[in-house]
Each structure stands twice: as C-alpha cells, then as structure tokens.
Amino acid sequence: MTIQWFPGHMAKARREVSEKLKFVDMVFELVDARLPLSSRNPMLDQIIQQKPRLILLNKVDLADEYQTKQWIAYFKQQGFYALAINSKENSSVKLIMATAKKVLAEKRQRDQERGIQPRAIRAMVIGIPNVGKSTLMNRLIGKKIAQTGNKPGVTKGQQWLRVANELELLDTPGILWPKFEDELIGKKLALTGAIKDQLLHLDDIALYGIDFFVRHYPTRLAKRYKLAEEMEQLPAAELLMEITKKLGFRDDYERASERILLDIRQERLGRFTLDRVDEFEDDNDGLD
C-alpha cells in the first residue's frame, strides 16, 4: 500500500506554522486517542521545539479506556501535559482551559513578578486532518465568534478568535500530514477513516483490522461474525473468506471488506486503540 506524501504542501504548512508560533503562548496538539502516536506528525517536534504544549487525545469516546489511561501516563513520563477529550462535549472546554493555565503557570508567575498583568492565553490548535480540529475549535469558540482586534506584529489576514475572556485562538495554522515512511501508520490511519477509502486497497486494510482484533479483542470479532473459537489459529486472509461467507457475500471479498471497515468505524466491534504503549516502548519508539 502506497500513500502519497506531497513535500511541497508539507514545506508550506511547516513555514506557515513556524511563522505563527511567535504570536502564541502555547500549542494545543490534537491527536486521535485511538492512535496517539501514529496520528502525530513527528515534524512538529522540530517546529514547536520548546514552545509550551498541551497534547489533546481527542475522540476518547471511541478509544479503549485502559489504553487511554496508559497513554496519558506515557506522555506525562515524557514531560508533557496531556488530556483525554471528546471535542463534541462542552465539558472538554473547561478541562482544556484549566490544564492550559497549569501549563503556563510558571511563565505567568514570572510575568507577574515583572509587573506584567495576566491576559488571555493565546494558542493555536495543530493536528493532522480528521483528528477533529475544526470540531474542537467550534466547541471552544461556541457561537461567540469575534475578532479581538489587531495585535502588534500580527500579519494582515490573521484572525484571533476569543473564547470567553480566557483564551484567544489564532486561526488558522497550516494542517500537517505525517510522512508515511511506515506502512503500518498508513494502515492505522486508514482503519480509522482518516484517509479516503478511494486511495486504498480496502482488503489490505480489512486484513489489518481482522488481524488486530484477533490479537487484542478476539471475543468481539467472533461474536460479531459468528466465528468459531479456533479462529485465532487462522491467518487473516482465511478469516476474511470465512467472514465473507458468514455475511452471505459469497466470494465478494471487496464488499465484505467494506462491511468490516464500516463495523469497526461505527463501533460495532466496540471501542479500540490501535497504538499500544507497550509495543512502542518495546520498539524504543515514541516522542523524540
């Protein structure tokens, strides 16, 4: 499976984010709670560098609860603040605001000692496509969308969106895709629907999904498709054939693949997390 990566677009996005970083106090880095590392762009570490950061694990309602707790602990060990959120819920706004204040507590204390009065936190939201950036920004802003006026040094055309009196979001940074050097990352993103199905071989993604659920959630797979207990001994390709028959699709593996992907994305096999902390730790991979 090959997924195209466009260097020109990446360079433009990188330049745009780098230019806007100097106008904000911190960055909200939005990732998918089902794949907290695979939905990150590793290039962000080079761009953001020492800028204060809050990692937001979005779509937590779709992720495995135990694994989410593991990831929050993992990011904490790495020295980052991290929150599990559902950008569709208002309660997430309060959590984000409270944690953002913690992230900037030391800086604000230093400013106060220098006689600088506290002001609204200025932030930008960064995330790859389909992690819920627009939904989160709309939730943060609500119906009260207002331009807060010109800021010194802010280039023409940039807009500040005010959230109550506590937060100002700089709209809109470039959206970054990850570089798909690892085929597995592409499959994970595809399974969650982050990549258009037209760009993929659906049976490849379905096979990956089957193999993943056999390894981590076998009971759910067996129950959904009425599979025998010994299914764990079968390779994913044979299981796809068996599921195709159970669905009544004869030899239409493409149709069966579409159904499996739909079932996974619509939670008919339950909540799941594709990135597992123990696997990344075993590989010595993760945040640089």
For the annotated binding site for GTP, the residues are 58-61, 86-87, 130-135, 174
Task: Point out the annotated binding site.
Answer: 58-61, 86-87, 130-135, 174
In the chain the first and final C-alpha atoms are separated, in Å, by 27
Crossing angle of helices 183-191 and 253-265, in 10° steps, is 70
CB atoms within 10 A of CB 2: 10
Report which of 139, 53, 148 is spatially closest to residue 92, judged by C-alpha positions. Answer: 139
CA angle 64, 285, 187 (to 5 degrees): 55
